[in-house]
């Protein structure tokens, strides 16, 4: 394992800012909540509490949620590194780790995934940043759900971009791209620990790429 990483942002300033909780992030929150509902689980571990929005909503609909974060200032229930989670084996039906694993070096990804698998009885939900430029067109029309069983059609063309800004920001060690950290390579690491049930990027937020996983 590489050396421990430092706290990269100040929790109160970062997670409660207008810039952080923009429309695209609330779309991501929706999908985190919706996927947890679809899996019909009862007890959940959320790694990376952020502003507490997802955990708060899940608790409001009767889910048992325990939060975990590396930063004690987030006031998470458990203060722990994703590479060494202070939780007993198979403690939770679902482990959520959205926009978390890019905050550790890529060489430690397998260790983080192993820990997530260890503490989960059934499922894991992971999202990662997918760095690219894209053109997206969303089409919604009357009776689309009745006729096609879909709320809308989401058409996307994605193109790789070279953008070193995330490295300079000191927050992300890596992101999915089409060159150095390819989606296929990340998928292979996940499949070593889990069965991938499905994967997707949310409408109007293609920067977040979701994997819904089942423990092998």
Residue 130 contacts residue 64 (beta carbons within 8 Å)? no
Going edge to edge, which strands form the sheet with 120-129? 78-79, 64-69, 43-47, 92-98, 120-129, 208-215, 194-200
Better-scored residue on pLDDT, 78 or 166: 78
> In angstroms, rounded to a whole number, what is the distance separating the alpha carbons of residues 106 and 5?
12
pTM over 0.85: yes
> In angstroms, rounded to a whole number, what is the distance separating the alpha carbons of residues 208 and 108?
20
Homologous superfamily of domain range 11-131+175-215: Vaccinia Virus protein VP39 (3.40.50.150)
> In angstroms, rounded to a whole number, what is the distance separating the alpha carbons of residues 40 and 75?
27
> Each residue of 21-58: pLDDT tens digit?
889 999 999 999 999 999 999 999 999 998 899 999 99
Q: Average per-residue pLDDT in the chain?
A: 89
Specify the pLDDT at position 163.
61
* Domains of the chain, residue spans: 11-131+175-215
> Each residue of 167-180: pLDDT tens digit?
555 678 999 988 88
Q: What are 66's two structure tokens?
A: 């325990």
- Positive or negative: CA dihedral 150, 153, 154, 155: positive
Once rounded to an integer, what is the mean pLDDT over residues 92-116?
Answer: 96
């Amino acid at each position: 394992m590489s050396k421990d990483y430092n706290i990269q942002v100040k929790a109160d300033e970062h997670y409660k800012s207008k810039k952080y909780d923009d429309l695209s992030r609330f779309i991501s929150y929706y999908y985190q909540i919706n996927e947890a509902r679809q899996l019909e689980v009862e007890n959940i571990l959320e790694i990376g509490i952020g502003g507490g929005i997802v955990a708060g909503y899940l608790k409001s609909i009767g889910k048992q949620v325990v939060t975990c974060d590396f930063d004690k200032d987030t006031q998470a229930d458990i203060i722990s590194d994703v590479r060494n989670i202070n939780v007993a084996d198979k403690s939770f039906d679902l482990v959520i780790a959205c926009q978390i694993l890019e905050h550790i070096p890529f060489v430690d990804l397998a260790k983080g995934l192993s820990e997530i698998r260890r503490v989960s009885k059934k499922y894991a939900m992971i999202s990662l940043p997918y760095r690219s430029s894209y053109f997206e067109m969303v089409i919604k029309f009357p009776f689309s759900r009745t006729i096609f069983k879909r709320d809308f059609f989401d058409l996307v063309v994605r193109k790789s971009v070279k953008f070193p800004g995330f490295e300079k920001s000191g927050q992300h060690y890596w992101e999915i791209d089409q060159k150095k950290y390819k989606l296929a390579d990340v998928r292979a690491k996940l499949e070593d620990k889990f069965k991938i049930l499905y994967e997707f990027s949310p409408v109007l937020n293609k920067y977040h790429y979701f994997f819904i996983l089942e423990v092998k």
